[in-house]
Structure 1
């Protein structure tokens, strides 16, 4: 923000002494014969595109020497196109980026180290623990746009019908398992306390963080042992055998809804920005979020960058690209335009510009309630992470189906992880 002011002052002084032909615009890079042009791309729906159009118009109005050429597509097509461009050395100037792909592109030299531009992008407005999400080996390749945090959702209507007290944020894992059993026993047939939560990779990461570890290290390596994964997958064995958890068969039948979203499970763990979707799926008037269980007093929580901004290493206009990123991350008007449609804005100045109501307000309140205990956000994920995560879920389901023993599933996951990380 302050950089734009300084650049504007510099431009005014330059114009008064040397004439406009000798000076750039706000970006310091605009040529005398016209504005700088930046290619900018993102993934998302038409709603996101409509909001983005308004945000770009606001930027261009305050930066007349920078033109933005916008382009967007769906998530799958987005990464197919980026791969093609990277192979040819022609990535866009500015891109919306996902944590799962940042390391892959950064380590191949396709992204600019934004830190080399000094304080051109003001990150002082962003929670410090979130910044490592965009950093690799001390270099900054991504700037967080928005955040989410992991939470424990529950449906108060199901609990009221069962006559069971609501879960709390200070439960131990054993207490939570006992709570699941009680809800299942006291609920009508076909309603359970939970599905098998051990199939969720990010919940396993949360569990490890409660013990001072992480599922993925800062170096992008696997941060846990076979014994630790075995202990995790075996922790719900009694609940599975006793029928206290919704079955794998029924879970598959409900897809694409989750057991919780379908109203057949009283609780579920997921990212807090799933709240609006859960409300739509269940038709419930109210759903609640608390912190996950813990045996250590540390909930292992952190803010995850739901998306980031990155600049292509091949850009001919790095300063102008940084101006655009700074505006899109920090400007209050942009915060008002997007609200929580991309997650909770990462920047404090954008949160101040947004209006939060209903489910949005509930998510903000949850993140505020855990703010004092947030740990450091994960570093950019290893190349092949998507395969690791999907295999984790698949093999946990195979345990439920009886296709693998826990030992067999653990061995299979580590073998597949080794192969994925070598690619």
Structure 2
């Protein structure tokens, strides 16, 4: 460990700044001797698959750093942010956290996250592209280190496409052409199989659609970047497909949970981040799935590499240097790259990427992002406070449209009211 004595460890451990981390091992905070290891609370969201991989990565870190022990905890995405909100209201956060750029500004502005420049001697970010680093930066301070990158794509199942007897979707389709393709697949595929679900409920996809027109859904200043008429047009763009039964129903989509219609083998296509490929393959049992660029009505695809997640350190971490050593290992070590592959996206650090062998689905994702090299815009900076609430409302309200519980006009008014309220907080 870099320049850290046992006395320094002991003093730091028991200083108790905001103190969620115990002064040593044990189940919930039993004290260890001064010679005992540093214990760091670390939390993340994700599936059981991610937890299994994380367990291996933590074991590799602890083997290389016997003076640091990790107390792990994980949950699903929604539950994750509920826990963080409770913790920050109570005065502290875990030592190390997986963070989403949708929430980074909200916590940084409250002083709950450490400026990582304070541990820059320990945490090496030289392998991360300068164009990606702004994903974790706010007003000149660094609150997050990108873990990995991903890009939006259109997944399709070639077996279903072949069964329907239609040509495969391409990366140069317009939105109207894609909607026509959906209708054709739904008409020709076996009963119970559809061309798509209603993709207009995905906020990031709408943001991409707006970027194709030189706009964005929520500006960095926390303003809605589009009009009610534009949102109405988006939600109504699939109205005909909803009406004629060309889209898998909301009811059936709910029945398939936790799988998506695509993962459940009942939809030929689905838009998502490219790192979902491994999960889709596991869910569907398909031998092969393909990914192409989403539709666009012009030359600008509206695509960008997004930091799929970042690592942050709590401002009250009792041993920031130990926390930084853990983050440095998780971001840069090739062992971690081998363990995760592209399940969290392509490793953001060139150091980790160069030491990772990509095969199968991982190689496919790397090839997809490389194919977009000339199409990508700037990576987004941490999102405005309230973005996460606006995104969640978008999904919920669009589901109400699909269930027939609300009209598009009423849905537009409801979303704008909720989003503007959230963004003004």
- TM-score of the pair, normalised by structure 1: 0.84
Structure 1: 5+ residue runs without aligned partners?
8-23
Q: Quick check: 1:129–1:375 contact (8 Å CA) kept in 2?
A: no
Render the CA deviation track for 1:208-266: whole Å, top value 9, x for unaligned. Answer: 11112221222343322212111111212222233332233333333333222222221
Computed over aligned residues only, the root mean square deviation of the Cα atoms, in angstroms, reads 2.8
Residues 96 and 192 (structure 1), Cα distance of their counterparts in 2 relative to 1, 3 Å cut:
closer
Q: How much has 1:136 moved relative to structure 2?
A: 1.8
Residues 90 and 372 (structure 1), Cα distance of their counterparts in 2 relative to 1, 3 Å cut:
same
User: Which of 301, 305, 308 matches 2:307?
Assistant: 305
Q: Quick check: 1:29–1:36 contact (8 Å CA) kept in 2?
A: no
Give the aligned length.
398
Q: How much has 1:140 moved relative to structure 2?
A: 1.2
Q: How much has 1:202 moved relative to structure 2?
A: 1.2
CA distance in 1, matches of 2:273, 2:7: 41
Matched, 1:67 2:72: no
Q: How much has 1:129 moved relative to structure 2?
A: 3.1
Q: How much has 1:135 moved relative to structure 2?
A: 1.7
User: Which of 369, 382, 385 matches 2:384?
Assistant: 382
- TM-score of the pair, normalised by structure 2: 0.84
CA distance in 1, matches of 2:112, 2:355: 33
SS at structure 2 position matched to 1:129: coil
Render the CA deviation track for 1:331-359: whole Å, top value 9, x for unaligned. Answer: 22332343334332111111122222222
Render the CA deviation track for 1:144-172: whole Å, top value 9, x for unaligned. Answer: 11222211011111111222111111111
Q: Over alpha carbons, which structure has the higher Rg?
A: 1
User: Which of 137, 143, 157 matches 2:159?
Assistant: 157
Render the CA deviation track for 1:385-423: whole Å, top value 9, x for unaligned. Answer: 333223212222322333322221100111121233345
CA distance in 1, matches of 2:63, 2:218: 39
Render the CA deviation track for 1:5-34: whole Å, top value 9, x for unaligned. Answer: xx6xxxxxxxxxxxxxxxx34999668986
Q: Quick check: 1:28–1:319 contact (8 Å CA) kept in 2?
A: no
Q: How much has 1:197 moved relative to structure 2?
A: 1.3
Q: Quick check: 1:159–1:165 contact (8 Å CA) kept in 2?
A: yes
Residues 129 and 211 (structure 1), Cα distance of their counterparts in 2 relative to 1, 3 Å cut:
farther
User: Which of 37, 57, 68 matches 1:52?
Assistant: 57
CA distance in 2, matches of 1:98, 1:29: 32
Q: 1:288 maps to which residue?
A: 290
SS at structure 1 position matched to 2:374: helix
Matched, 1:399 2:401: yes
Residues 238 and 28 (structure 1), Cα distance of their counterparts in 2 relative to 1, 3 Å cut:
farther
